[in-house]
């Protein structure tokens, strides 16, 4: 197997009872690459990361990290990876520094090195002032940064980030992005999962879109956006009965099938603001009253609508019952 592949997975299947969380996932991440795993809740993102980080064993298929088989060589895998999950998995009664010291000890690192490295991480993640306060007193963003710092104590060459910014306010999110970009610049291989197209776009060179535990699209952010038709025009009609007529208008203007959700009608378009003017004229002459009209960048919903024909939120039902098998988002 080629050692320059940080992650190699082929035909990975994971079943929890009757629920199929992963249904034949293929994934390759080259060394030094940043790959974003994009998908709605329940698509299988977390399950995939858990398999790659040895927390779950696949039902079928092969998965290797840095050339090591995740099932047969879990300890070798654990030595080269860092994992940051959806929760800030740090001890809240310990101080930031004590957490780093504990994790350094558990990685069996030299204690003088742990001391030096902790300070380095605390400084670069803007935690040095809070370093000797219990984590309980930290904000959500600070906890996430400490969580990430903890997974970097042993300088892992491959980093798994499972929804690193979910639940963070916009400012903390930007801070987290800056930290991740710094790691990437140093050459760390990153596999990150996210529900946000914007986040994948910002951080990842390569985006893998998954749904129902399978890869449904793969490419750069630009390629994916082109594939789903660029900008979208979205209107809200005053009278819901006119939604159908509005959809016909958009079909004549746009370059893709319109989507109707109650009073909201949207369609992919090209041509920027001139298409807005044409839309207003066409709607007016058709006698359709609108309460809102806007032109926007495609969202994850649009990606899903375009790729799968269903909205991203529907996927929540596919999540198995919360139980000891864990989450499969």
Q: In the block, which residue shows the tokens 């839309």?
A: 279
DSSP string of 159-209? EEEESTTTT--HHHHHHHHHHHHHHHHTT-EEEEEES-HHHHHHH-SEEEE
* C-beta of 87 vs 220, nearer to another protein: 87
* C-beta of 113 vs 240, nearer to another protein: 113
- Among 72, 108, 171, 273, contact with another protein (rule: CB under 8 A): 108
User: Two tokens at 278?
Assistant: 């044409």
Say how many C-beta atoms besides its own lie within 10 A of residue 50's C-beta.
23
Spatial distance between the Cα atoms of 37 and 286, rounded to a whole number of angstroms: 43
* C-beta of 309 vs 323, nearer to another protein: 323
Spatial distance between the Cα atoms of 156 and 82, rounded to a whole number of angstroms: 6
Q: Does 19 bind another protein (CB under 8 A)?
A: no
- Per-residue binding letters, 152-181, with another protein (x by CB under 8 A): -xxx-x------------------------
- Per-residue binding letters, 76-95, with another protein (x by CB under 8 A): --xx-x-x-xxxxxxxxxx-
* C-beta of 52 vs 207, nearer to another protein: 52
Shortest Cβ 116–another protein spacing (Å): 10
Contact 93, 169 (CB under 8 A): no
- Among 3, 18, 72, 75, contact with another protein (rule: CB under 8 A): 75
Buried b (16+ CB within 10 A) or exposed e, 6-33: bbbbeebebbbeeebbbbebebbbebeb
- Residues in contact with another protein by CB under 8 A are 50, 53-56, 75, 78-79, 81, 83, 85-94, 98, 102-103, 105-111, 113, 117, 134, 150-151, 153-155, 157, 186-188, 322-327
């Amino acid at each position: 197997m080629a050692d320059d592949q940080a992650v190699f997975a082929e035909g990975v299947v994971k079943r929890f009872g009757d629920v199929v969380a992963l249904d034949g996932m293929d994934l390759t991440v080259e060394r030094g690459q940043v790959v974003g795993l994009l998908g709605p809740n329940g698509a299988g993102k977390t399950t995939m990361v858990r398999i790659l980080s040895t927390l779950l064993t696949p039902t079928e298929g092969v998965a290797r990290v840095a050339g090591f088989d995740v099932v047969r060589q879990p300890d070798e895998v654990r030595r080269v990876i860092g994992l940051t999950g959806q929760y800030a998995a740090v001890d809240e009664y310990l101080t930031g520094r004590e957490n780093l010291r504990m994790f350094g000890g558990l990685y069996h690192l030299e204690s003088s090195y742990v001391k030096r490295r902790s300070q380095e991480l605390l400084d670069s993640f803007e935690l040095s002032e809070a370093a000797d306060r219990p984590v309980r007193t930290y904000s959500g963003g600070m906890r996430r940064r400490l969580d990430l710092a903890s997974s970097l104590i042993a300088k892992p060459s491959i980093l798994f980030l499972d929804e690193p910014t979910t639940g963070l306010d916009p400012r903390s999110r930007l801070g987290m992005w800056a930290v991740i970009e710094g790691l990437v610049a140093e050459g760390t291989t990153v596999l990150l999962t996210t529900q946000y197209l914007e986040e994948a776009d910002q951080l990842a060179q390569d985006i893998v879109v998954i749904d129902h535990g399978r890869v449904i699209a793969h490419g750069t952010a630009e390629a994916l956006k082109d594939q789903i038709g660029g900008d979208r025009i979205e209107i809200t009609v005053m009278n819901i009965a006119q939604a159908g007529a509005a959809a016909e208008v958009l079909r004549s203007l746009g370059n893709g099938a319109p989507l109707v959700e109650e009073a909201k009608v949207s369609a992919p378009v090209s041509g920027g603001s001139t298409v807005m003017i044409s839309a207003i004229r066409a709607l007016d002459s058709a006698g359709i009253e609108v309460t809102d009209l806007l032109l926007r960048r495609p969202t994850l919903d649009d990606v899903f609508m375009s790729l799968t024909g269903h909205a991203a939120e529907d996927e929540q039902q596919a999540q198995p019952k919360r139980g000891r098998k864990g989450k499969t988002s």
